[in-house]
Amino acid sequence: MTETNPAATSTTYADAGVDIEEGARAVDAIKGYVHETYRPEVIGDIGGFGGLFSIAAAKSMADPVLVSGTDGVGTKLKVAQRLGRHDTVGIDLVAMCANDILATGAEPLFFLDYVAVGKLDSAAMAQIVSGIAEGCKQAGCALVGGEMAEHPGVMDPDDYDLSGFCVGIVDRPSMLDPESVAPGDALVGIPSTGIHSNGYSLARKVCIEGASDEELRAPLDELGGMSLLEALLVPTRMYVKAVRSVLEACPGAVRALAHITGGGITENLNRALNGRTDASVALGSWEVPPIVRYVCKRAGLGEDEALKTFNMGLGMILIVDPERVADVKAALKRAGEEGFEVGSVVEGAGVVRYENRGALLP
């Protein structure tokens, strides 16, 4: 009987496509970015089995409520990969989660990320995490941990995917509540920076598929001199600090708010309503960004379809006490944002209506 030599047939983790040493280098490469996001409540450092965060400040709240949210960036990552730029999609990741939990009035406290890659590259990972860290700084939350997972044989070597998890806190008496929305309330919209992170499967299909790199990188007059790839990669706007400053400066003025994401205005603004009210949105009362117009034109979208696909230039809509609109707009301006009165709340059954049909995409 012939014996097999185990040493001659052994297979290492590296042979299977997972480079543990490169993973260690990646952790070292991102530490500085992570530390820049830390708040005083962070306990310890990255590298443990769990992120630690003190909530001692909640003792001063009457009824502290933790608010959590999770999301990803979706196929916008394919645009980043096509352009070869990976330091902005992390901002999108944080914004999609932090802007969501903001809808309750919550303050984002900490964030965790999950990055899946086909083949780990510490330099590329540092770019990705630098964007996540920048997003956390914009939102005022700490990046307390995450996971980098190498998936050889499952993902292409240059492919990656992102998901994130955000936890915030709000005092229950101060929570924004759609039940408080009433006819006569005003709709105050805050501009988006473009498409943000939704609708990219459509945008890629009509704008990128079949196009050459030369075409995609060429400056376009209709995009203000930006290339199509650059315009599509502009990060999602972070609304946390501006809206939180409004809530602090104008207590009780904001009844509810809607983060305009997948489903557009039609299928997000209704989430901030109750069953007794409708939102009446005045089309043409705000500017639609050039990249949004461009994609809608390429796709041949009509108004109804556009309004339930893209944010159409409004990334956040606040429902405001009609007597406090001027105060809210002034507080937004002090925070570096511009608010537009884009409609009002009327009696109804919890749906979004539109006025001035034809004015959105003339």
Please give the average per-residue pLDDT across 142-148, as a whole number.
93
**Segment 257-290, tens digit of pLDDT:** 999 999 999 999 999 999 999 999 999 999 999 9
Domain with 39 in it: 16-174
**Least reliable range by pLDDT among 17-21, 59-63, 82-86, 166-170:** 17-21
Q: CB under 8 Å to 71, separation ≥6 — which residues?
A: 93, 96, 97, 100, 163, 164
Least Cα distance to 181 among 270, 300, 282, 73 occurs for: 270
Rounded Cα distance, 161 and 277, in Å:
39
CB 67 within 8 Å of CB 167:
yes
DSSP state of 38: -
β partners of residue 149: 116
| 242 in a structural domain | yes
How many C-beta neighbours within 10 Å does residue 175 have?
15
* Mean pLDDT, rounded, of the chain: 93
Domain total in the chain: 2
Q: Is 6 domain-assigned?
A: no
* Mean pLDDT of the 92-109 span: 98
Of 174, 199, 225, which residue constitutes the final position of a domain? 174
Mean pLDDT of 72-77: 96
Taking phi first (over 0 means left), then psi (-120 to 50 degrees means alpha), and beta for anything else, what does residue 43 get?
beta
Question: What is the layout of strands, in order, in the sheet containing 254-259?
Answer: 254-259, 314-320, 186-191, 340-347, 277-282, 352-355
- Concatenated DSSP letters for 81-101? HHHT--SSHHHHHHHHHHHHH
Which CA distances in Å does 337 have to 152, 190, 284, 332?
44, 7, 19, 5
Domain harbouring 249, CATH code: 3.90.650.10
| Residue 306 to residues 154, 258, 262, 265, 298, Cα–Cα distance (Å) | 35, 18, 11, 9, 12
Query: Do 200 and 300 lie in a common domain?
Result: yes
Where residue 6 falls among pLDDT bands split at 50, 70, 90? low
The reported pLDDT for the residue numbered 48 is: 83
Q: Do residues 248 and 205 both lie within one domain?
A: yes
Per-residue pLDDT of 292-319, as tens digits, reads 999 999 999 999 999 999 999 999 999 9
Assess whether 139 and 184 both reside in one domain: no
Does 7 reside within a domain?
no
Pair 27, 90 in one domain: yes
| CB 314 within 8 Å of CB 342 | yes
29-65 core/surface letters (b: 16 or more CB in 10 A; e: else): bbeebbeebbeeebeeebeeeebebeeeeeeeeeeeb
In a domain, 207, yes or no: yes
Question: Which of 126, 152, 174 is the last residue before a domain boundary?
Answer: 174
Closest CA to 166 of 66, 36, 39, 69: 69
In a domain, 11, yes or no: no
**What is the rounded CA–CA span in Å between residue 217 and residue 215?**
6
315 touches 198 (CB < 8 A):
no
- Give yes or no: residues 325 and 185 share one domain: yes
Strand partners, 256: 319
Clarify whether residues 231 and 148 are in a common domain. Answer: no
Domain end among 142, 174, 206: 174
User: Which of residues 1 and 242 earns the better pLDDT score?
Assistant: 242
Residue 314 sits in the same domain as residue 204: yes
Is 66 in the same domain as 138? Answer: yes
CATH of the domain at 104: 3.30.1330.10
pLDDT at residue 293, rounded to an integer:
97
Q: Do 195 and 102 fall into the same domain? A: no
Identify the CA nearest to 186 among candidates 349, 319, 282, 275. 319
Residue 153: pLDDT band with limits 50, 70, 90: confident
Q: With respect to residue 56, please indicate whether it lies within any of the assigned structural domains.
A: yes
Residues 229 and 340 occupy one common structural domain: yes
3 has pLDDT over 60: no
Residue 2 lies in a domain: no
Are 131 and 214 members of one domain? no
Question: Is residue 8 scored above 70 in pLDDT?
Answer: no
Phi-psi group of 182: left, alpha or beta (phi > 0 → left; psi -120 to 50 → alpha; rest → beta): beta
- pLDDT on residue 20: 67
Q: Is 10 a domain residue?
A: no
The angle formed by the CA atoms of residues 111, 113 and 116, to the nearest 5 degrees, is: 175
332: closest CA among 348, 316, 343, 347?
A: 316
182 in the same domain as 169: no
